[in-house]
Chain A
């Protein structure tokens, strides 16, 4: 529930709420106190002129790699959540593949606390499904669920829970605390040594192929398992047209499955790999234009529920090397809004209300994040962003808040800029730049039940 803090009063004037007509939003002490066309007045409120800006609920990333603990040379909770705030995110789910792995209550509480200390976004740790991501025995899922981090999303992301029995048990077990298993769908035997999408381009480049069927076969198995045991399944970073078909079929059968797509899979294709530039190396790999079009259509029609950035920062030495040596992953937090605007909104496939659904409402619901992804209405928590949709900017990774310089969009001109981000009523971003972090009060930092 929205914490009641003295975060000050802000009167946002003339914002286009979800792309609708201009209205005012009065934010006071962490909540939206009023919304309307009748100019609200509030003595002492800071007035923000938002004419020409779109007001949206703060974005919620279901899939972020913050790298801390263990790889602080790649990213920290502090730098990653600064990037999140600048990108319009008020909550991120921190994936479990840190070092140590987030497979115990202790580690998820550490990540949670680091997020609280940073104060740039709500950090929701994801718990590992299996101990050490080793795929052999279940981690203490219940302990992580009951911890201060209140973990609801469990994933071995980066590695597939390929053992069907283990996957079945995980799906069943998390029902006890309304959890969800977020599967990284990648059949390991079919992708041993795989370097890029298997198809016309890999044939020419001589890079070991990563067949679409390696993703699709796991998704097919998992939706049937989820149906059998009546559990909730989330499919990470769907990347193929075939996966979309399977998920569409599963949803039509009433199977409780949700799916995510990354911004980069909505735009980029394996043609870029012809450069052998590892900035385009990612897991799952960039696919074909046919896949890109299918993913866009699926996001528009609701087959795919959410955008997940799969923000994966890497130190430059892990990308300045041979393709086969390079790490997989791309940064995404600071470009997600723009890329989705470019691929979905400017193509006419979606409006801003749909955008709010796939970047905020739906991911908050999957992650069971109660005070995020809420409507922009009076009485709701004030997690709000203001976007200048008419802005155009050129992507320069060296100017980003993330420590990762591995943006595949470097040099491209993108539409849309986040001008302000309100986290629990406090502006973490103002005038398109970082402001100050939100400060949890002492009692809150000490712990909520």
Chain B
């Protein structure tokens, strides 16, 4: 794997290799010494053009657990207002000997530019670009779903996919990089995806996506959902007339207490509730839902480190076909 830019680039085999590697990595987190020597002497730069403490510390923990050297580069605001271009920043990092760049950027496609140009030779991991993609988020979501789905089936998660699983993703799909990455990846892994959103928050062209679209959350739930993923809604969308009020949004598309109860009424006892965080409690998800035993919010955070370890490992280890050395024998 040269770069990780979009889940759309991943074949089923690629995706399963990352998830399986992440399973091995997660075992490291259960050990007393949570560290592998795999990336000793390699330099990983977290290049963040947009604030995201959660994603940055997740990548930082992942790189450190693999013994990589980590440089955090917070280029707040736009590169133009900062006076330095993405090109100059990239060339600076190249001159410092970065082996991998984890980039978060407010502009869709910025990681593609780094990967496609000769500005820098390092491997590029997209840590969220504009309203485009967030592939490691989708991978950690899929990892979380796969553990749940395999457990229900009574099979090991390693090697499994999501065939037969029904996943609903509700919220601001139009502006969501999480939704895009999830739709491509979940489809590749065999899940059935339904997007639920007000029509104003679905992109023109969504009809070409490999999923179904609904405007009605209750109807979607009644149809049976194995995983219900709520997307964060930005308050400022309200001012742009995407929906009339946050209260109306919450009533129609939020996962509130009534819908939490409805899962029981509908007999959906194994349905999990997911959220990529940070949550707007009381808007797209109620506190009762976020804190219920169905919620996987914290497991997602935990799994994020394992998935990012896997991505960094596969990007930097050179050999993408073999499993992680040194720990697999001792850790299971």
Q: Measured between alpha carbons, how far is A276 from B208 in the docked complex, in Å?
A: 20
The answer to whether A324 and B203 touch (CB under 8 A), given A204-B180, A205-B132, A206-B132, is no
**Please, which residue of chain B has its CB at the minimum distance from the CB of A209?**
B204
A273 to chain B, nearest CB (A): 9
**Please, which residue of chain A has its CB at the minimum distance from the CB of B184?**
A204
Q: Which residues of B contact A211 (CB under 8 A)?
A: 204
Are A207 and B85 touching (Cβ within 8 A)?
no
Q: Measured between alpha carbons, how far is A322 from B107 in the docked complex, in Å?
A: 7
Contact of A323 among B87, B109, B177, B206 (CB under 8 A): B109
Hey, what's the 0/1 contact readout for B303-330 against A, CB within 8 Å counting as 1? Answer: 0000000000000000000000000000
Q: Which residues of A contact B109 (CB under 8 A)?
A: 205-207, 276, 322-324
A197 to chain B, nearest CB (A): 10
Are A199 and B204 touching (Cβ within 8 A)?
yes
Are B116 and A275 touching (Cβ within 8 A)?
yes
Hey, what's the 0/1 contact readout for B191-231 against A, CB within 8 Å counting as 1? Answer: 00000000000011110110000000000000000000000
Are A277 and B116 touching (Cβ within 8 A)?
yes
Q: Which residues of A contact B204 (CB under 8 A)?
A: 198-199, 202-203, 209, 211
Contact of B205 among A195, A201, A275, A322 (CB under 8 A): A201
Hey, what's the 0/1 contact readout for A291-318 against B, CB within 8 Å counting as 1? Answer: 0000000000000000000000000010
A374 to chain B, nearest CB (A): 46
Are A206 and B131 touching (Cβ within 8 A)?
yes
Are B205 and A324 touching (Cβ within 8 A)?
no
Q: Which residues of A contact B206 (CB under 8 A)?
A: 203
The answer to whether A325 and B80 touch (CB under 8 A), given A207-B109, A275-B112, is yes
Decide if A320 is an interface residue (CB 8 Å cutoff): yes
Decide if A200 is an interface residue (CB 8 Å cutoff): yes
A324 to chain B, nearest CB (A): 4
Contact of B86 among A202, A203, A277, A322 (CB under 8 A): A322
B57-84 interface with A by 8 A CB criterion: 78-80
The answer to whether A320 and B85 touch (CB under 8 A), given A203-B205, A209-B203, is yes
A37-79 interface with B by 8 A CB criterion: none
The answer to whether A206 and B108 touch (CB under 8 A), given A201-B205, A211-B204, is yes
Decide if B232 is an interface residue (CB 8 Å cutoff): no
Q: Measured between alpha carbons, how far is A325 from B85 in the docked complex, in Å?
A: 10
Are A323 and B108 touching (Cβ within 8 A)?
yes
Q: Interface extent on B, as a size class?
A: 20 to 34
Are B116 and A206 touching (Cβ within 8 A)?
no
Q: Which residues of A contact B107 (CB under 8 A)?
A: 322-325
| Total interface residues in chain A, CB < 8 Å | 24
Decide if A321 is an interface residue (CB 8 Å cutoff): yes
**Please, which residue of chain A has its CB at the minimum distance from the CB of B208?**
A200
Hey, what's the 0/1 contact readout for B95-130 against A, CB within 8 Å counting as 1? Answer: 000000000011111101100110000000000011
B195 to chain A, nearest CB (A): 11
B185 to chain A, nearest CB (A): 14
Q: Measured between alpha carbons, how far is A199 from B208 in the docked complex, in Å?
A: 10
Are A276 and B205 touching (Cβ within 8 A)?
no
Query: Most chain-B Cβ atoms within 10 A of its Cβ — which of A201, A203, A277?
Result: A203
Q: Measured between alpha carbons, how far is A208 from B205 in the docked complex, in Å?
A: 12
Are B79 and A206 touching (Cβ within 8 A)?
no
**Please, which residue of chain A has its CB at the minimum distance from the CB of B131?**
A206
**Please, which residue of chain A has its CB at the minimum distance from the CB of B112?**
A276
Q: Which residues of A contact B110 (CB under 8 A)?
A: 276, 322-323
A321 to chain B, nearest CB (A): 6
Cross-chain pair count, CB within 8 angstroms: 84
Q: Measured between alpha carbons, how far is A325 from B105 in the docked complex, in Å?
A: 12
B278 to chain A, nearest CB (A): 20
The answer to whether A205 and B79 touch (CB under 8 A), given A200-B205, A275-B116, A277-B116, is no
Q: Measured between alpha carbons, how far is A195 from B203 in the docked complex, in Å?
A: 14
A240 to chain B, nearest CB (A): 14
Are B130 and A324 touching (Cβ within 8 A)?
yes
Decide if B133 is an interface residue (CB 8 Å cutoff): yes
Q: Measured between alpha carbons, how far is A199 from B107 in the docked complex, in Å?
A: 19
Q: Which residues of A contact B133 (CB under 8 A)?
A: 206
Q: Which residues of B contact A209 (CB under 8 A)?
A: 203-204
Q: Which residues of A contact B116 (CB under 8 A)?
A: 275-277
Hey, what's the 0/1 contact readout for A307-348 against B, CB within 8 Å counting as 1? Answer: 000000000010011111100000000000000000000000
Are A321 and B79 touching (Cβ within 8 A)?
yes
Contact of B180 among A206, A208, A277 (CB under 8 A): A206
Q: Measured between alpha carbons, how far is A209 from B206 in the docked complex, in Å?
A: 13
**Please, which residue of chain B has its CB at the minimum distance from the CB of A277?**
B116
Q: Which residues of A contact B208 (CB under 8 A)?
A: 200, 203
Are A202 and B203 touching (Cβ within 8 A)?
yes
Q: Which residues of B contact A323 (CB under 8 A)?
A: 107-110, 113
Q: Measured between alpha carbons, how far is A317 from B106 in the docked complex, in Å?
A: 19
**Please, which residue of chain A has its CB at the minimum distance from the CB of B78?**
A325
Q: Which residues of A contact B85 (CB under 8 A)?
A: 317, 320-321
Are B108 and A205 touching (Cβ within 8 A)?
yes
**Please, which residue of chain A has its CB at the minimum distance from the CB of B209?**
A203
**Please, which residue of chain B has its CB at the minimum distance from the CB of A195?**
B108
Q: Measured between alpha carbons, how far is A325 from B205 in the docked complex, in Å?
A: 24
Q: Measured between alpha carbons, how far is A321 from B206 in the docked complex, in Å?
A: 28
**Please, which residue of chain A has its CB at the minimum distance from the CB of B206?**
A203
Are A325 and B79 touching (Cβ within 8 A)?
yes
Q: Measured between alpha carbons, how far is A324 from B131 in the docked complex, in Å?
A: 12
Q: Measured between alpha carbons, how far is A322 from B79 in the docked complex, in Å?
A: 9
Q: Which residues of B contact A202 (CB under 8 A)?
A: 203-205
**Please, which residue of chain B has its CB at the minimum distance from the CB of A320?**
B87
Are A203 and B79 touching (Cβ within 8 A)?
no
B74 to chain A, nearest CB (A): 17
Are A276 and B113 touching (Cβ within 8 A)?
yes
Q: Measured between alpha carbons, how far is A413 from B217 in the docked complex, in Å?
A: 53
Q: Which residues of B contact A205 (CB under 8 A)?
A: 108-109, 132
Q: Measured between alpha carbons, how far is A44 from B210 in the docked complex, in Å?
A: 73
Are A322 and B132 touching (Cβ within 8 A)?
no
Hey, what's the 0/1 contact readout for A164-205 against B, CB within 8 Å counting as 1? Answer: 000000000000000000000000000000010011111111
B15 to chain A, nearest CB (A): 18
Query: Most chain-B Cβ atoms within 10 A of its Cβ — which of A206, A211, A277?
Result: A206
B187 to chain A, nearest CB (A): 13
Q: Measured between alpha carbons, how far is A195 from B108 in the docked complex, in Å?
A: 10
Closest 6 CB pairs of A and B: A276-B109, A203-B205, A206-B132, A203-B203, A206-B131, A322-B107
* 20 residue pairs from A and B, CB less than 8 Å apart: A195-B108, A198-B204, A199-B204, A199-B205, A204-B209, A206-B132, A207-B108, A209-B204, A276-B108, A276-B116, A320-B87, A321-B80, A323-B107, A323-B108, A323-B109, A323-B110, A324-B107, A324-B108, A325-B78, A325-B79
New contact pairs (5) apart from A195-B108, A206-B130, A206-B133, CB-CB < 8 Å: A205-B132, A207-B109, A209-B204, A275-B112, A276-B113
